[in-house]
Amino acid sequence: MKKLISAVLVITLALGLVGCATQAGTGAGVGATLGALAGAVLCKGKADCIVAGAAIGGVAGLAVGAYLDKQVADRKAAVAEYESKPASDGKIYISGGTIRKDLLEMEKSEVNPAPVQRGSEFATTVQYTVISRNADEKISVVERRYIIVDGDSIDICKPRTIQVEQGTRASAYKVKLPDGFEDGNYDLVTEVSGLGQTKKIITVVKVAG
């Protein structure tokens, strides 16, 4: 039954994920609601947790569709921050002002408010740094956000590709939990790819009430 539920989710997301488009540089964007059909809910891998709204049914929208992007630090400040400082992999990327290797570093991730109530909205925010050896290069990054439900990865928004300035940036996205989500802890994963690297960071979303 779990595989059937996962298959329904995949079909629905394929139909419903049409966007999460952003206007690069403005800090605002408009996305698309997940779910091809209304009246469905998602929770932890039980047959009665997916309620058909019509035809084959679907998953209620997780994505509200609003991005908020902010440049936290410019390249110069980020380079100074990581001077002789080991990254999360234990390696030193910058020493003596020289960038030895392009850096992509996931720094922090948070959910607000916490815990999250069923049927309510919450914001997922991630902060990461990108530094290239080419000081003038804009960096193409791909951001992906997904939640783990019964071992399955469910995208809460279509992955987006954006051009970013080097330095440290914060990326926030607003999410709405369906009413049928069961209480418990869920791993929310934010994955960023760029500079030939892919890094991820996990935040626990506690659903209560």
The domain segmentation of the chain, as residue ranges, is 62-207
Whether 63 has a pLDDT exceeding 80, the answer reads: no
122 strand-pairing partners = 175
pLDDT in tens, 7-49: 444 444 444 344 454 433 333 333 333 333 233 344 444 333 3
Structure tokens at 179: 């009413």
The proportion of the chain whose per-residue pLDDT surpasses 90, expressed as a percent, equals: 53
Q: Which residues of 39-75 are buried (b: 16+ CB within 10 A; e: fewer)?
A: ebbbbbbeeebbbebeeebbbbbbbbbbbbbeeebeb
pLDDT in tens, 138-188: 999 999 999 998 888 888 888 999 999 999 999 999 888 877 778 999 999
State which CATH number among 1.10.287.70, 2.60.40.3880, 3.30.1330.10, 3.40.1260.10 fits the domain covering 62-207. 2.60.40.3880
pLDDT in tens, 172-185: 998 888 777 789 99
